[in-house]
Amino acid sequence: MRHRVHGRKLNRSSAHRKSLRQNLVADLICYEQILTTEAKARTIRPAAEKMITLAKRGLEKSDANPAAAVHARRLAAARLPKSRTFTDEEGVTEEVDVVKKLFEEIAPRYQARPGGYTRMVKVGKRPGDNADMAVLMLVD
């Protein structure tokens, strides 16, 4: 019985799970939507929402206490990779700072929203191994 056992193992070691979670959350922040398996999407959804909430609270506290805003950025930087290489439709490659995008673009967008920043849409089965696929995206 799995009573009170939190999280999914995803057939990976704990370090691999942690790395996978960090990378998928960073990709979600950079690309604002990712295609992954349904189990991975269900696993990273709470982590992504917590990162956006952390950024929102950091922005709210920035006026009254600048040190709290810096602390929120440092917490986010500790939990996310530093940067992502982003290639757009024209093939132009650029380096995206994940924490900067989280605090300057994504968190202000959800400032008035009380929660529920992500949406998971099931897309069907993957042809190779019949795994359930889902698109995890940030809502508008």
How crowded is residue 106: how many other Cβ atoms within 10 Å of its Cβ? 20
Residue 103 is predicted with a pLDDT of 96
Average pLDDT score over residue span 73-99: 92
**Domains of the chain, start order:** 14-138 (3.90.1030.10)
Enter the tokens of residue 19.
Answer: 């790395």
Q: How far is CA 129 from the centre of its chain?
A: 25
Residue 86 is predicted with a pLDDT of 81
List Cβ neighbours of 43 (8 Å cut-off, separation of 6 or more): 7, 8, 10, 21
Residue 9 is predicted with a pLDDT of 93
d(CA 40, CA 62): 33
Residue 6 is predicted with a pLDDT of 85
Average pLDDT score over residue span 82-104: 92
Q: 29 near 21, Cβ under 8 Å?
A: no
Which residues, in sequence order, are bridge partners of residue 121? 135
